[in-house]
Amino acid sequence: MKTVQDYIRTIPDFPHEGIMFRDVTTLFADPRGFRMAIDQMLHPYAGLQIDKVVGLEARGFILGGAIAHQLSKGFVPIRKKGKLPGATIEQAYTLEYGEAVVEIHDDAIQAGETVLIVDDLLATGGTAEAGIKLIERLGGKIISCSFIIDLPDLGGRAKLEAMGMDVQALCAYAGD
């Protein structure tokens, strides 16, 4: 029987030499694989109250939309700066080689709403940390951060857990 990891393609030396890129587009393209991933991402939250699903740009939109649909809940995108219309709040974060800024609509989450954060990959945790800070500034209560892939050697899980977050991932790749 196949696992989610069986649907993920590895592309060596992308986007830079020495990087083993974990490509989830092959998982998304396969109906069984995609369904399996969504079902498994939902499983830890059965019976929990979730008001909103937040997807981190960009593959988190695909996962978050599907999960929000399954839960019959609203979906909220966290996007790169300048991509959302209307009033937003922003959060800068550090990348491996520089900085970036993400935004959320300032009315996307109401104080006290419970939130599930979703993305495809957890590496250093910078994007997720920025998303957490935005949601908390709006008064949201994050119940968990859910990913398909964890790259534990890059420290993202440890960073998010040190912030008091529950972190779930369907699979992990060591040494990446």
Residue 99 is among the residues annotated as catalytic for this protein: no
57: helix, coil or strand?
coil
Tokens matching residue 66: 């599907």
Name the nearest CA neighbour of 64 among 147, 149, 167. Answer: 147
Residue 96 is among the residues annotated as catalytic for this protein: yes
Q: Which of 17, 32, 35, 96 is catalytic?
A: 96
Residue with structure tokens 């019959």? 72
Tokens matching residue 164: 């008091």
Name the nearest CA neighbour of 137 among 111, 101, 116, 156. Answer: 111
Q: What's the angle, vertex CA 63, arms to CA 171 and CA 106, rounded to 5? A: 120
Q: Which of 22, 59, 79, 157 is catalytic?
A: 59
Cα 118 → chain centroid: 3
- Rounded CA gap, 149 and 92, in Å? 23
Contact 89, 122 (CB under 8 A): no
Catalogue the active-site residues. 59, 96
